[in-house]
Structure 1
Amino acid sequence: MPHPPFPPEDRVLSPYTGWTRAHWEAAADRLLGAALRHAGPEHALIALPGPRPSRSGPRSDALEGYARTFLLAAFRVAGAGGGDPLGLLDRYAEGLTAGTRRPTADRELTGRDPVSWPAVTDRGQAMVEAASVALALRLTRPWLWDRLPGPQRARAADWLAGALRHTPVDNNWWLFQVTVGGFLAEAGHHTQAAERAVEEGLARIERWYLGDGWYTDGRPRAVDHYNGWAFHLYPVLHAHLSGDPDLLDRHGTRLAAHLRGYAHTFGADGAPLHQGRSLVYRFASAAALWAGALTGHSPLTPGTTRRLASGALRHFLDRGVTDEDGLLTLGWYGPCPPLVQSYSGPASPYWASKGFLGLLLPAGHPVWTAAEEPAPAERADTVLPLPAPGWLVQSTAADGLVRVHNHGSDDQPAGEVLPDDPLYARLAYSTATGPVFEGTADNHFALLAGDEASERGPIRPLGAGPGWAASGHRPRVGGAALPGVTVTSLVLAAGDLEVHAHLVRGAATGTGVRHTGWAVAGQAVRTTSDGGRARARAERGQGTALLSEAVVLHGFHTARARRLPAGTAFGPSAAVPVLTGTVTGEECLFVSAMRLTGTDAAAPPAVRITAEAVPQGHRLLVRLPGGGDREVLFHADAVTVTPAPPGAGQG
């Protein structure tokens, strides 16, 4: 397939990104062209090269290559009203027919059967891919499905129907059944089972709805970007395509509520928040933005929607996410093995195809014709509480950085003990930093038991409000909670400044504590320590730098910066500031000021605090620069944050 050039930038229509609908079409064609060069016989399997297969095996990985690129092709062709100058649908129709001739269990696949797809089984990867195939067929039905001979349609429907009668993983996988069921019911195959699957799947996700447009992904507090392109995308698209106004009202209203906060999690450089699993899907983060515009359920203007979505796509394509052959890599920018889950194979990144949902909007839609408007992170400094996920979003217009303070998401299963996941358990995430996978954990408060630092484990949200968020946890060492020990944590945010407070109860006197700040990475890193302040500065190229700083305010006694030899997803050279202290009593409070900034500010604004024990627990007065002073009461199992009384703490 040809390698289409990108058209010239249009800085009148798109003053922030320069990109138009034509750029999205060219990007889609490039990604498809690179992947389809690896199609096998009869185009049924697309086996992309990679460092290793997924746990499901090479045949499943090749089905994944077919299904996820088919979804991208469907957006491309359906958005063009069936226009298909590259002959994409002929290829995928041939692959569908060949792949569903003799679906078999993986163990039965042999060299005598080079093209058939694995059958859908309980909790098997084929169920995931069936959803992409079904959605692609639904979108392209007039030009592909309806033109197939009846026996070929029946065989393909029988393969898809495996998703209706097998058990999904008990999380967002229920929506794969919804997606398959929606198509089969519309196409008149396995109708009763299909309609039942839609009803049951949508009912199942209700138990995970937290409110305000946020879901947890099966586990009690697992909140991440799956909200946008799984929990919202599938139900809203099904409701939109089926023409069900009541269903669209319910799920469209939730999507709009989600987007009010979600839009604030994109940096001015287009980067989405680096948090949660399956980050190799990258610009799939744009799917929810497009879904709101497509269905008319978005609080965003058309110009803001396109600015955010185009910014996300450009952010990655401009940073080399494809290899020398034009294939998406398993990583964030380049390859990054720590980001790769066991279920991920070489074609997994092509779920980024969901980010091209906007191509379903015709060229004359306002989302393509309106001038781009600034992203929320570019307009003004913002501190936005999101109580449902337990997050506090903090952004600064001067550098366009977005930070999300995490006092609600942990990915811990109910009734089980798992090690902290760095992509969920940290105190904060941003659009410019990634968590540390080896060595000293970033954005983490720990009790020290010899050489071992405690883990956070399950997080107990204690609220989020104007400028603050709080949570509690029982620190764990070696998978076991420290007997009788609790930590109550609070963050206050203003501008680029963060004030963190941790009240430790029940730890033995003399126990060491450690609080780490933001891990910054780049081409080179410099570190400095000066009394009660530690800094790490990463040079990111093109004259830009990222500064992470931590300052002792109360309880801690040492500040230093530590280099991280393994780096992060953002670069091979990294460092993190570290504060340490010691428990001195039954209740011991530790307070620090931290910041992450892309500006050249020499020092953080001054913060003054007063801390004291009171009958209710502990009282903290924080005087922030520019006003906004706060009084914090740490109760036995709660945190109260109120404006400080006039003159409080001024002596």
Structure 2
Amino acid sequence: MELPVEDRRSSPYTGYTRAHWEAVADGLLRTAWRWATPGGALLDLPGRPSVSGVRSDGLEGYARTFLAAAFRVAGAGGADPHGWIERYASGLAAGTRTPDRDDAESWPRILDQHVRGQPMVESASVALGLRLTRPWLWDRLEPDVRDRVEGWLRGALRHTPAPNNWYLFPYSVAGFLESVGRGDAETARARERALELLEGWHHGQGWYSDGDGRAFDHYNGWALHLYPVLDEHLTEGPAVSDHGPRLREHLDSFGLFFGSDGAPLHFGRSLTYRFAAGTAVALGAVTGHTPLAPGTSRRLLSGTLRYFLDRGATTPDGLLSLGWHGPHEASLQGYSGPGSPYWASKAFVALLAPADHPLWTATERAAPSEGPDRAIALTAPGLLLQSTGADGIVRLHNHGSDHVSPHEGESAGAEDPHYGRQAYSTRTGPCAPGNIADNHLAVHLDGAGSVRRRIRPLGAGQGGSGEPGTDWGWAASAHLPVFAGGPPTVPGLRVESVTFVRGHHELRVHRVIGAPPGATVSQTGWATGPEETVRSGLYGLHGWTGRETVRAPRGTAYTRWALVPRLTAGATGTGLYAAVATLTVVPEPEGEPAGVEPASALTVEYADTGSLRVRWTADGALTRIAFDPLTVVHEPAGDSSSATGS
């Protein structure tokens, strides 16, 4: 991939300009098309096949790269120096000629999600690509090809999607068909149903759950905001919905989801989509629904694009690999196939902003993570953001997202490491399955440790004087510990948790209620490895009696193997356990994780089974946490007015 010379005058942080974005899009497309079938209907990219099968994977390669090509050509006003439109037009004709013929390069039909649903996902990218490039592609197709394409797309309107963001795929298909004069009652129903569900999934602060339940992750931006806001942007006439204002509200805090190195928070599923994490930022800049300055938006977008390109996201032959930096199996899901990473194409919605748009002409400005320490409590999703400007690391403390269907029992299924952990960051990933769980409070019975599945948020808050370094925040939740290999739950056993953050310190307080005789508890910290320049610290303040370091040989997305600090203690009845965790940068990698902050950073003044009072050694501030009722109060030294609670 050949990129233009960096422009450090207009882009002092990344060096990237609009020309770099065009070059990346062209490079990814050029490489992917080397694996096209003769008619161009399938891009049979090499790599691990998904559970949907090889032909579905080939359609995925076509559809997702088509989205990148559509943004590229539409953003250039139809200019197409590489002939992408001709290639995708050929693929449309070949793919819809004889659907479901195994001996041809035809596209699989769109069926119900539980039968063979992946083509429904790809129908949205095909529909959006056609809508974006209508004057240069759709309007020039032969009438019989247009009819065949419509017939294939209508399968999305006539079959049942998965009960989540998938409902926005027939919504997007219907939007395209209506835009070319092919709308009817069927398209109207698909759009109405999707918007009805979307309203029910909105929890506030611009956050949608991915379906019923409490699954909050990057899908909020690259799916649940993208499809309705882009639809309105492409529709003539003024928008009258709440979609744009909700995107603006989401972006008010979402800028802090990226570290100073450009990394998005490693949290949630489908992380192999990589720089698609910036889609909402680009969409806000293109549509005007953003509180971010244009220079800040470009800093975030180019920062995350460059982050992955500089860290091996593409293979030696130029393909996006299945993983995070490079290939990484534990970051994948069963539906991940060779074409899956190309949903990263959604970030190229930024190219819909023309060259003279402020997104490209304004000078890059610092990212939110490059300012002073910050804490943002997002009460709607139950998430707490913590940023330490000195090192540019962003941490997310999870007290509300669990990816558990509300139709499942409390004990059904297993924990998902991408949702069940207590904390995530822009510099660490969860340990791979089969290793110790990082950032986790576990109850142990007869050798079995509990997992954290359904998370019930209890509250969140933040405060500070507005001066640098004064921000603090907290979030709280409750869950029932779930066990494998025996009775899944223990009657009366539950855990209530509070995370209080200030600077780079994380005060983690848990109340374990109803622990049976012989039970033990453990708390783990961040997983880091010797190849990294970040180190994890975990120190017991109250209730903990043991401390050790545990190996995680399968590592994380950031290190081939990892070390995890762990605290342990006995547990019977009700007990309170408090610890301080840290994640900090050190100058050079070292063989063993060293404590970077002593436990004396906080002094326990009082503790019982339901409350805790700690003094901050550096400035004498006081933090009080109680569970009955839940109350969190923080008082700067000499001031009793700064308080929050629920």
Distance 1:41 1:517, change over 3 A: same
The match for 1:117 among 107, 112, 124 is 107
Q: Deviations over 1:86-144 (max 9, x none)?
A: 0000000010011111223xxxx332xx1211111111111110100000000000000
Equivalence map 1:418-497=2 (5 Å): 418-437=413-432, 438-466=434-462, 467-478=473-484, 480-497=488-505
The amino acid across from 2:357 in the alignment is: H
What per-residue deviation string (whole Å, max 9, x for no partner) do you get for residues 446-496 of structure 1? 011132111112111001101111001111112722211111101110010
Cα distance in 1 for residues equivalent to 2:157 and 2:341: 25
Supply the distance in 2 between the matched residues of 1:251 and 1:166 (Cα, whole angstroms).
26
Aligned to 1:512: 520
Aligned residue number for residue 254 of structure 2: 262
Deviation at 1:152, TM superposition (A): 1.2
TM-aligned CA distance change 1:92 to 1:499, over 3 Å: same
Which among 564, 575, 589 is matched to residue 588 of structure 1? 575
1:575 maps onto 2:567 in alignment: no
Say which SS state the counterpart of residue 30 (structure 2) adopts: helix
Q: Contact conserved, 1:294 with 1:361, CA < 8 A, in 2?
A: yes
Q: Shift of residue 599 of structure 1?
A: 4.3
Secondary structure of the equivalent of 2:79?
coil
Which moved further from structure 2: 346-355 or 592-601?
A: 592-601
**What is the CA-CA distance between 1:207 and the residue it aligns to?**
1.3
* 1:389-441 alpha-carbon deviations (Å, 9 max, x no partner): 10110011111000000000111112321211000010000001000122110
Aligned twin of 1:97: 93
Q: Is the 8 A contact 1:621 1:632 kept in 2?
A: yes
1:154 counterpart residue number: 147
Partner residue of 1:27? 24
| Distance across 1 between alignment mates of 2:559 and 2:189 | 48
Structure 1 unmatched runs, 5+: 526-538
Shift of residue 513 of structure 1?
0.6
Alignment match of 2:269 (pick from 266, 269, 277): 277
Residue 49 of structure 1: CA displacement?
A: 0.4
Alpha-carbon distance in structure 1 between the residues aligned to 2:386 and 2:46: 40
Residue deviations 1:51-85, cap 9 Å, x none? Answer: 3x111110100000100000000011111110001
1:313 to partner: Cα distance: 0.4
Aligned to 1:200: 193
Q: In structure 2, how many angstroms separate the alpha carbons of the residues matched to 1:33 and 1:607? A: 56
Contact 2:46–2:338 under 8 Å retained in 1: yes
- Secondary structure of 1:503's aligned partner: strand
SS of the counterpart of 2:380?
coil
1:508 alignment partner, SS class: strand
Which residue does the alignment assign to 1:534?
Answer: none
For the Cα contact (< 8 Å) 1:219–1:411, is it kept in 2? no
Distance 2:81 2:358 in 1: 25
C-alpha distance 161-399 of structure 1, shift in aligned 2 (>3 A): same
Q: Using the alignment, how far apart are the partners of 2:639 and 2:8 within structure 1?
A: 51
Cα distance between partner residues in 2 of 1:564 and 1:377: 29
2:251, 2:197 → 1: CA distance? 22
Structure 1 residues 48 and 645: CA distance shift in structure 2, 3 A: closer
For 1:513 and 1:364, the matched residues in 2 are separated by 58
> In the alignment, is residue 243 of structure 1 matched against residue 249 of structure 2?
no
- 1:640 corresponds to which letter in structure 2? T
CA distance in 2, matches of 1:81, 1:201: 31
Flag the 1:165–1:551 CA change in 2: closer, same or farther, 3 A: same
Amino acid of the residue matched to residue 503 of structure 2? G
**Contact 2:218-2:268 at 8 Å conserved across structures:** yes
Give the 4+ runs in structure 1 shifted more than 6 A. 645-649
Which range is displaced more, 79-88 or 332-341? 332-341
Summarize deviations over 1:590-638 as a string: whole Å, max 9, x none.
000111111469435610123434xxx7221122343542211111xx5
2:197, 2:99 → 1: CA distance? 28
- The amino acid across from 1:409 in the alignment is S
Distance 2:574 2:525 in 1: 23
Between 446-455 and 267-276, the greater mean CA deviation after superposition: 446-455
| Residues 627 and 266 (structure 1), Cα distance of their counterparts in 2 relative to 1, 3 Å cut | farther
Aligned to 1:374: 366
Match of 2:11 among 14, 33, 38: 14
Q: How much has 1:306 moved relative to structure 2?
A: 0.3
Deviations 1:218-258 (A, max 9, x none): 141111000001000001001111135344x5100000111
Matches within 5 A, 1:593-604: 593-599=580-586, 602-604=596-598
Structure 1 position 36 matched with structure 2 position 36: no
Alpha-carbon separation, structure 2, partners of 1:135 and 1:626 = 55
Contact 1:161 1:190 (8 Å CA) reproduced? no
Instruction: Classify the secondary structure of the residue corresponding to 1:37.
Output: helix
In the alignment, does 2:224 pair up with 1:216? Answer: no
Alpha-carbon separation, structure 1, partners of 2:378 and 2:639: 28
Task: Look up the SS of the partner of 2:243 in the other structure.
Answer: helix
Structure 1 contact 621–644 (Cα < 8 Å) conserved? no
Contact 1:473 1:488 in 2 (8 A): yes
Which segment drifts farther, 445-454 or 625-634? 625-634
Gaps of 5+ in 2: 463-472, 588-594, 641-646
- Aligned residue in 1 for 2:326: 334
Question: 1:634 matched to which residue of 2?
Answer: 627
Secondary structure (helix, strand or coil) at the match of 1:587 reads strand
544, 549, 558: which one aligns with 2:537: 549
Residues 1:569 and 1:35: Cα distance change in structure 2 (over 3 Å): same
d(CA) in 2 for partners of 1:272, 1:59:
32
Amino acid of the residue matched to residue 131 of structure 1?
A
- Could you tell me whether the CA contact under 8 Å between 1:398 and 1:599 is conserved in 2? no
TM-score (norm 1): 0.92
Deviations 1:9-31 (A, max 9, x none): 11110000010001111111110
Deviates more, 1:509-518 or 1:169-178: 509-518
Conserved? CA contact 2:543–2:578, under 8 Å: yes
Give the letter aligned to residue 568 of structure 1: T
| C-alpha displacement of 1:510 | 3.9
* CA offsets 1:156-178 (integer angstroms, 9 cap, x no match): 11111111111111100010011
Of the three residues 152, 177, 180, the one matched with 2:173 is 180
| Identity over aligned pairs, percent | 53
Q: Distance in 2 between matches of 1:551 and 1:409?
A: 26
Report the CA distance shift for 1:627/1:47 in structure 2 as closer, same or farther (over 3 A). farther
Q: Which residue of 2 aligns with 1:396?
A: 388
